[in-house]
Amino acid sequence: MLASAWPHDVEDSGAYDRNIVHECLARIPRAQRPTFRAVQNEANRLVVAHWGRITDLAARLLDNHCIHHVTR
C-alpha cells in the first residue's frame, strides 16, 4: 500500500517511541551501548520466534477494526 494512502503519518505516530529509545540509549555509556547490528539481530530473532503471535494479533486488530490501512 502506498504511504500516501495511509490514514495517518506512520513516521509521526512512532515519534514518541523513538524519543524514548534515544533517551534510554543516552543513559548507557557509549562503550556499553549495543551495536546497531546486535540490536537488528535480536529484533530479527524475536520476530521469527514470535511470528505466529504477531500474525494472530494483526488478524484480531483487523477483525476488530483497530487498524484500517492494512488489507489482507
* Angstrom distance (rounded) from CA 72 to CA 64: 14
On whether residue 19 sits in a domain, the answer given is yes
Q: How does pLDDT run across 12-64, given as a tens digit for each residue?
A: 777 888 899 889 989 999 999 989 899 999 999 999 999 999 999 988 988 88
Taking a C-beta distance cutoff of 8 angstroms, is the pair 1, 70 a contact?
A: yes
Question: How many structural domains is the chain composed of?
Answer: 1
pLDDT at 65: 79
Question: Quick one: pLDDT band at residue 72, thresholds 50, 70, 90?
Answer: low
Question: Does residue 68 lie in a domain region?
Answer: no
Structural domain that includes position 9: 3-63
Whether 55 is covered by a domain: the verdict is: yes
Q: Is residue 69 part of a domain?
A: no
Is 70 a domain residue? no
| 44 within a domain of the structure (yes/no) | yes
